[in-house]
Amino acid sequence: MNDLLPETVDTWQGVERSAREVFGQYGYREIRFPLVEKTELYARSIGEATDIVEKEMYSFQDRNGESLTLRPEGTAGCVRAGIENGLFYNQVQRLWYAGPMFRHERPQKGRYRQFHQIGVEAYGMPGPDIDIELILLTARLWRVLGLKGLRLDLNSLGTPESRAGYRSALIDYLSMRRHELDEDSLRRLSTNPLRVLDSKNPSLRDVIEQAPELPAFLDEESRTHFAAVQSCLADAGVKFVVNPRLVRGLDYYNRTVFEWTSDRLGAQAAVCAGGRYDGLVQQLGGDDVPAVGFAIGMERLVELLRVDGEAADAHPRLHAYMVTADPSATCSAIRLAEELRGRSLRVLLHCGGGSLKSQLRRADRSGAHCAILVSKEMPVAVKMLATGTQTEMERSAVGDYLQLHCSDHGS
């Protein structure tokens, strides 16, 4: 679990701002749901035989003896909130959320126990058009952030029925090579064999490489759906790779699944992952509402931006750092600073006293455009910190002067 210090938070806010803008362009609206849910919500949605539910959840009993869990992901909570608030009743929904998630993973680069996701979920739309929209939306966000070189992998998981055929073919194959499987995979062979394909154990690479491929088992409708996703993405100029081994780490997916990865992140390469989950709303007690969504890993995205993004907007620069010649000018300085803030200017008022010289040194280090020197009797002096030019003026003239000379685009 990490502390995010102000310098890093500037980058985070830049990403959040861009995401909010892009999501808004596509008509998505923010939803906020709790950080804690009943444990059974996650067990029922994510799947019992998954990494998350088997070993990663922060679960605890509250004072009534009820088992609660810190949210390990956003989709389950979003669906629960949508059902409880009637959001899915006869309407489509385009939603996004952002915030911390919790998973008790082995600590390693790119994997944290509190991490942050920005997620998007779309409900009530069964066709490939919305799958395509979500992928285009992510591609646009990368462009806006100045991220290049991300790779898009696509696959279709078909329907649960068509997957049953694949499942048994996979069980046959894995049983044949069971002596090569690790403990986790052996257990999953009977409970959840597709999970074996998602294993991160390098010694299983060979077994996974040679496994039967899912696309051969797809039902007709899923094939048509997937073909439409592919042709429309190609038409829109989005490059992708069909990866028949992409299965995703959560159980609720069907049909389209996708993942954006970077080769600059080391072993934990995925920055964004998602897919269709048509059965989940009904499974959690709602109507039969088709759904599709994805989540972006903020830590990994920010790490990438550090490596090759366009420098995100720093926090807005202070217009002025205000200092006082002596304590008798304090009230007058506070009043002037308030007036200027009332005109939307950013003014840091030096507090804590000290010599004029040391106050001006702080002004220099503050990154502000200018220092304003207030004394009790005399006119106000404004010193441009880049050039050292100092101008005296009446207090009533300071606002206009700052607006003219301290713009972020000008000097």
Instruction: Return the amino acid letter for 159.
Output: T
CB atoms within 10 A of CB 362: 16
CB closer to ligand ATP out of 115 and 142? 115
Taking alpha carbons only, the member of 278, 277, 316, 308 closest to residue 295 is 277
115 in contact with ligand ATP (CB under 6 A) = yes
User: What are the DSSP E strand ranges found in 124-171?
Assistant: 151-156
x-or-dash string of contact with ligand ATP, 27-66, rule CB under 6 A: ----------------------------------------
99 binds ligand ATP (CB under 6 A): no
Rule CB under 6 A: which of 347-406 touch ligand ATP? none
Q: Which residue is nearest to ligand ATP (CB)?
A: 297
Q: Rule CB under 6 A: choose which of 16, 105, 182, 219 binds ligand ATP.
A: 105
103 near ligand ATP, rule: CB under 6 A: yes
Is residue 187 near ligand ATP by the rule CB under 6 A?
no
Query: Using the rule CB under 6 A, is 249 a contact of ligand ATP?
Result: yes
Q: Could you tell me the smallest distance in angstroms from the CB atom of residue 50 to ligand ATP?
A: 9
CB of residue 103 to ligand ATP, shortest distance in Å:
5
d(Cα 340, Cα 335) in Å, to the nearest integer? 9
CB of residue 246 to ligand ATP, shortest distance in Å: 10
Q: How far is the CB of 167 from ligand ATP (least distance, A)?
A: 19
Q: Give 64's contacts (C-beta < 8 A, 6+ positions apart).
A: none
Q: Please count the CA atoms within 13 angstroms of the CA of 263 that sit on its side-chain side.
A: 2
Which helix H or strand E contains 37, and what residues bound it? strand 36-38
Closer Cβ to ligand ATP, 104 or 395, answer by number: 104
Site for Mg ion in 232-251 (CB under 5 A): 249
Which partner, ligand ATP, Mg ion, none, binds residue 362 by CB below 5 to 8 Å per kind? Answer: none
CA angle 315, 320, 323 (to 5 degrees): 130
Neighbours of 268 (CB within 10 A): 19
Extract the tokens encoding 342.
């009332």
Size of the site for ligand ATP (CB under 6 A): 18
Nearest distance, CB of residue 395 and ligand ATP, angstroms: 51
Q: Record the tokens describing residue 91, joined without a space.
A: 């309407």
Which of ligand ATP, Mg ion, none does residue 297 bind to, with CB < 5 to 8 Å depending on kind? ligand ATP
Cα(55)–Cα(187) distance, integer angstroms: 14
What DSSP designation does 149 have?
-
- Interface residue with ligand ATP among 246, 299, 321, 336 (CB under 6 A) is 299
Residue 270 CB, shortest distance to Mg ion, in Å, is 9
Q: Strand 320-324 vs strand 370-374: parallel, antiparallel, or unpaired?
A: parallel
Q: Which residue(s) pair with 60 in the sheet?
A: 68
C-alpha separations of 156 from 85, 152, 355 in Å: 31, 14, 69
**Considering only 146-154, 204-212, 269-277, 351-359, which stretch makes contact with ligand ATP by CB under 6 A?**
269-277
Least separation in angstroms between residue 258's CB and Mg ion is 16
CB of 200 to ligand ATP, least distance (A): 7
- Binding partner of residue 12 among ligand ATP, Mg ion, none, CB under 5 to 8 Å per kind? none
| DSSP result, 205-269 | HHHHHTSPPGGGG--HHHHHHHHHHHHHHHHTT---EE-TT---SSTT-EEEEEEEE-TTSTT--
| Residue 64 φ then ψ, to 5° | -95, 5
- The residue within the footprint of ligand ATP, chosen from 157, 196, 270, 333 (CB under 6 A), is 270
Cα-trace Rg, the chain: 27
Residues within window 318-347 making contact with ligand ATP, judged by CB under 6 A:
none
Does 133 help bind ligand ATP (rule: CB under 6 A)?
no
- Minimum distance, C-beta of residue 268 to Mg ion, in the bound complex (Å): 9
Per CB under 6 A, the segment of 4-12, 107-115, 133-141, 359-367 that binds ligand ATP is: 107-115
Instruction: Please report which helix (H) or strand (E) contains residue 275, including its range.
Output: strand 270-276
Residue 304 contacts residue 142 (beta carbons within 8 Å): no
Interacting partner of 141 out of Mg ion, ligand ATP, none (Cβ under 5 to 8 A depending on kind): none
Contact flag: residue 197 with ligand ATP (CB under 6 A) = no
The site for Mg ion (CB under 5 A) is made up of 249
Which residues are at the interface with ligand ATP (CB under 6 A)? 73, 103, 105, 111-112, 115, 117, 248-249, 268, 270-273, 295, 297, 299-300
